[in-house]
Chain A
Amino acid sequence: MEKKKRGFWRWLIASVMLRLILIYLPKTFNLASRPEISTPLVSLRRLAEGYWLKKSSMSPYAGSMYHGSPLLLSLLGPLTVKRIEGQPDHLLCSDGDDSLHILGYSLVFVIADIISALLIRATGHTLQMAYRQSLNSLDIVDLFKSSDSLSSGDVAALVYLWNPFTIAACVGLSTSPVENLVVILALHGACKGLVPLAAFGWVMATHLSLYPAILIIPVILLLGYGPDTPPRKLFLQKGYGKNGDNHSSDNCGQQETNHSKAEVTFSWRPVIHFLFWSSLWSTYVLVLCSISVKPHGSLWEMFRRTYGFILTVEDMSPNIGVLWYFFAEVFDFFRSFFMIVFHLNILFMILPLAIRLKHRPCFLAFIYIAISSMLKSYPSVGDSALYLGLLGLFLDELADMQFSFFLLCGYIGVSLLSPVMHNLWIWRGTGNANFYYATGMAYACLQEYGCSFTEDSDLYSFSLPPPPTIIILQIILVVESVSAVLNHDRKLRKLSVTKLRDGNS
């Protein structure tokens, strides 16, 4: 165990070294200008521009350059200032002096990545403990001894740190590491039961990128029910089984049932606390924002330029999402209709998934993040870095995943194809926008999928939204992982049933 721990730290340090080396390397790939990495929302270049506007006492949102939070501007802006003063250098190429500034704000992202990884690790430990406990109470722990060798928290943290997407987002100067950090902060707080932290994370994440707002459901479930457990039915079943088994000692069985009942009750106290804290934090954030944007406009202006920009899909420059191309093509008078449709797509999925997966709130959060990172208006690889990292948390449950190899091949293929197609379209002129969009579609299809072949009819009926548009696709990754988790639950049920039967006979 000790050795394992050392191994983890070694890998962590190695990943930091890799990032620093990549930051120092000459900018052959020019990652910061790649459309896959820096979208209008997360590009640090735009942030520098916004900061410059603010410095020259204009509204940072003037000229539709910056669309992020004013708080981020005050936090990260000063780090970019040197770069702006050396404007001619910025236009030509970096000289030796410039690399220092790059290091300055790159360090922030590296640190954000490390903190995220550590938080994921801690969350993973909590989840695994809870999982063990519930298995213990189901008496089937001995079958899963094997997974002792792999701590899901460590694996998830390392997957997050070593994911090429994370590294690219970190080195490519996008602010998504910070956004990911606050999302993970919220999940971690909720898992550990640290209500103020969870509320802070959730409020900040919503403030920074809007879409994490839907995480309120899993966070509340987490606070109410505690971390992921096998389905409640199992405990009840077990209680009944014990009941039927021990006719003679009736009171003992009663106790068991009471015990399991106690475990599944929804506790309202932390939820109320959470609501209180989040309203407190959001008031605080809003006050800070209003102070920040006061000289240039009102809060309303800020909402229009940030949330409004996200929701109305104003910027149609290419990215890996599926919306830009669509809105570039669509007639203007249909625009608002399709806008509503696209955004409802995310909302449609929320309720069915919440009902089906309410016993696994953490996993539910993962699914929500995956869905929103695919349907959001300006997705970047930083978003997929987040959910791929979280995927590692459910190592035990996803051990039976069938398409894992295919998914990996798909991700590799798409992430290599995307720059090539971009090159064909922009630089060589032999391709066109369809080429690039095709890879975006393929990327989305890796997460989504056309028809549900899962064996669970219940999942099928729940999570397929009414498909009004081209997105009649469901999610390969999401479907696959959901079905793997449900299969896992089913297996647990089977195991506990056989156990009971064995006990009976």
Chain B
Amino acid sequence: MAGMILGDGILLSYRFNMPKTETETPKMKPRPIVRLAIFLISHSLLVCVVCCTAGVLALLLLPLLAKNTYISENALMPGSASSMISNRDISEANRLASDLSGLNFEPQDAAALESRGILTKYMSDLGAEVSYHKFHHKPNQFHPLHFFSSPDSTSSVDNFSCSAQGVNTVGIIRAPRGDGKEAIVLVTPYKFGKSGTAETLSLSIAYTVFSLLSRVTWLAKDIIWLVADSQYGEYAPVEAWLRDYHTPVFTGLGALNADTCIKIDDLYALEQKPIAQTKISDGFRRAGTMAAALIFKVADRNELLEDTLNIYAEASNGQMPNLDLINIVNYLAVHRQGLRVKVEKVLSLLDSRWLEILGEIFEVLGKVARSLNPGWKFGISAADYVEGSATLASSLYNQALGIPTGPHGAFRDFQVDAITLEISPKVSSHNKARHNEFLLRGGRLVEGVVRSINNLLEKFHQSFFLYMLTSPSKFVSVGVYMIAFALLVAPLPLVAASLYADANQLDLGVKNTKSTTTAPDELDITFRSWKWLYAAKEVFLVHVWGAAVSLLPYFICQIPNCSPTTSSVIWVSLSMLGLPILYLIAGSPSTHVSISQHEEKGEWAILKSVTISAVFIGLLLMSVVNFATAEIGALLLVPMCLMAQPLMLDMKAGKFRSFFRVICNMVLGFVAFPPAAYFVAKTLFEGSDSINMGDFWNWMESLWAWNSATYIYIGMVHLPCWALCLHILLHSC
């Protein structure tokens, strides 16, 4: 918005200072804001440098500016009640675990059925309503524009195979004090039939909590325990269940669905006989709207020092759950259960030298500031700074990618706040007492969180949705991190305006050039203000090309037996081919040069101005959709767009400054090319030994398979703007 307003001011200033040769009124003094705008435009180079530097600096300062988290919703009251999990629950859970791991059937199907049966029996013994949910695993589909539409409610009945069918087990406890309109969801991914000890452990934690919750009197929200059949990944079963949960089925579609896979249904019938007494409903069971969801699992790896809790929160397109949810988990884990809480970090940043130096500088600055005024709580230790920036970088990267970091992402698409808790136990879990203590800790943590959420009167709304974590207990809110982005993109409208003004020979009143009253000829005056149309046409064409390029994978996917490397080669070559074809169809942009022949600078300057406007609009839009993508994109695009100038001009000038600019342009032009940027980043963070052309294809494929808006951004904003900048660079003057 600020940019908009600024833009208005600038254009107004044009308006105001338009060559008014025919009016004989004395020149009025412009308003202060207009004068400010004119001043900014006329010093756009300086403003650019200052703003961009400040933008990068503000980004680096973010770990310093992070605030401590606090619980904003009063109703939550985490940890105010003492835990009620008893040894009885734990011994029950252990019995379940031993029953499950005692199964050693050779055909895995049978083992899966048997273990599901056991689980069902245990659940229904607790008084829960148990139901099965069948789903079909769908392979990746190309629908990148999915982002703008609602969550897909149409279940595609066609083209699934019976072999790719999974069965979720759902247990629901009805709340004694609730009206059945709200629910809390617990999810444990579990591979029936082929599970490891870690998964069984997570199941027993969940069972511990579930058995407690079936007895308590304070429950006001129904509890849904979803044991997700994770043989096709952890995300797919949860997503399928959620979709069916939110899609009412009116007709006998379910029956139709069931008929198609008779074999599996027969197996059900066989298997259900032994436990015929238990009531298993075949229909889909629902509780109320979901207040929150917790996905928890036990990690396979062991920690050396103490039990550790990893929190994953990033959902699709950089959406985050409400900060309060993370807060209560963090609070209970640290202050009640004594777990060590971690969030993801970019490990390679932890031992990077330059970050450390930067941290030390900030530390010194902080000390100086504190010596000047003890009230200034500025500055953190260098180690904290490095840690914070590594976490922030990971947060930024995961949000920018737009791919959920776990099954919790499926919930966020239905506006349910959810996080994944991954608990890693300390080594030597064979010890029985140690094992029970671990169960107790995990169970108490989940119980505490459920109890807090149970207190909630409305859905989470008090705390932030837009934030980035720099540690489990520190965050940067939207108001702070937007500053860095705003500073970075602020020069764009200024430069666009100043280029436009230059090219149109608008008198800005500051430059004191001789006014344009001499009027080259009437024709030029008449259509001067529409001259940008040709540049706009070119920009539009390149964007069409970008859209076509981003649609190409849809067709490339149809080619059978295509390795990622060949796919990416086909993609690149088809894209290259597309550009000349497009020009052939729509007419080359160079046919319209005649309109502005007498101006040398004019043509590319106008093109640059239009390009920069397109970049500005694109980045602003993206910052609303997914801030992190826009921030990273701006870091790449903004310097390139601002620097771009025909190489020929600089070559001709032959000064040191222009030579420097040529080098900068080349480097930026290389780095901003999406595949190049990908490989450069990969080399920087993972080392140069594993570079493969197919990686880029795989990466892009994961983007579109997850409906990431980043894919659209790369195809429709980043790539066209890069091509346009390249066009400007290679422009012949």
Give the residues in chain A near B694, CB-CB below 8 Å: none
Residues of A within 8 A of B (CB): 28-30, 88, 91-93, 143-144, 146-147, 399-406, 408-410, 412-413, 416-417, 419-421, 423-424, 426-430, 438, 442, 449, 453-455, 490-491, 494
Instruction: Tell me whether B250 is interfacial, beta carbon within 8 Å.
Output: yes
Instruction: Give the interface centre of B12, B154, B466 by most chain A CB atoms within 10 Å.
Output: B12
B624 and A427: CB pair below 8 A? no
B530 and A399: CB pair below 8 A? yes
Distance in Å: Cβ of A48 to nearest Cβ of chain B: 20
Interface residues of B in 12-31 (CB under 8 A from A): 12, 14-16, 18, 20, 22-23, 25
CA distance A455 to B526 in the complex (A): 19
Instruction: Tell me whether B196 is interfacial, beta carbon within 8 Å.
Output: no
Quick check: which of B35-43, B141-149, B179-187 contacts chain A, the rest being far away?
Answer: B141-149
B624 and A405: CB pair below 8 A? no
Instruction: Tell me whether B613 is interfacial, beta carbon within 8 Å.
Output: yes
Give the residues in chain A near B532, CB-CB below 8 Å: 404-405
Interface residues of B, count at CB 8 A? 47
CA distance A248 to B154 in the complex (A): 87
Interface residues of B in 601-621 (CB under 8 A from A): 610, 613, 617, 620-621
B624 and A421: CB pair below 8 A? yes
CA distance A449 to B25 in the complex (A): 23
Contacting residue for A413 out of B18, B151, B621, CB 8 A: B621
Instruction: Tell me whether B679 is interfacial, beta carbon within 8 Å.
Output: no
B529 and A399: CB pair below 8 A? yes
Contacting residue for B148 out of A403, A406, A423, CB 8 A: A423
Give the residues in chain A near B20, CB-CB below 8 Å: 455
CA distance A494 to B412 in the complex (A): 65
Distance in Å: Cβ of A299 to nearest Cβ of chain B: 40
Distance in Å: Cβ of B21 to nearest Cβ of chain A: 9
CA distance A491 to B12 in the complex (A): 21
CA distance A408 to B610 in the complex (A): 11
Give the residues in chain A near B584, CB-CB below 8 Å: none
Q: Could you pull out 21 A-B pairs where Cβ atoms are within 8 angstroms?
A: A28-B149, A29-B148, A29-B149, A92-B154, A143-B522, A146-B527, A399-B526, A399-B530, A402-B11, A402-B15, A412-B617, A417-B620, A420-B621, A420-B624, A421-B624, A427-B150, A429-B415, A430-B319, A430-B465, A442-B4, A453-B15
CA distance A395 to B461 in the complex (A): 52
B624 and A147: CB pair below 8 A? no
Distance in Å: Cβ of B30 to nearest Cβ of chain A: 9
Give the residues in chain B near A416, CB-CB below 8 Å: 617, 621
Residue of B nearest to A401 (CB): B529
Residues of B within 8 A of A (CB): 1, 4, 7-8, 11-12, 14-16, 18, 20, 22-23, 25, 143, 145-151, 154, 250-251, 319, 412, 415, 465-466, 500, 522-523, 525-527, 529-530, 532, 536, 610, 613, 617, 620-621, 624-625
CA distance A412 to B525 in the complex (A): 26
CA distance A97 to B510 in the complex (A): 67
Give the residues in chain A near B617, CB-CB below 8 Å: 409, 412-413, 416
Give the residues in chain B near A30, CB-CB below 8 Å: 149-150
Distance in Å: Cβ of A13 to nearest Cβ of chain B: 16
Contacting residue for B610 out of A143, A405, A413, CB 8 A: A405
B12 and A400: CB pair below 8 A? no
Give the residues in chain A near B525, CB-CB below 8 Å: 400
Give the residues in chain A near B536, CB-CB below 8 Å: 405, 408
Q: A28-B149, A420-B624, A426-B150 are in contact. List 19 more A-B contacts (CB 8 A).
A: A29-B149, A30-B150, A88-B251, A93-B154, A399-B527, A404-B532, A405-B613, A409-B617, A410-B4, A423-B147, A424-B624, A427-B415, A429-B415, A429-B465, A430-B466, A442-B1, A453-B15, A455-B18, A494-B22
Residue of A nearest to B478 (CB): A430
Residue of B nearest to A450 (CB): B8
CA distance A88 to B500 in the complex (A): 56
Give the residues in chain B near A405, CB-CB below 8 Å: 500, 532, 536, 610, 613
A406 and B7: CB pair below 8 A? yes
Give the residues in chain B near A410, CB-CB below 8 Å: 4
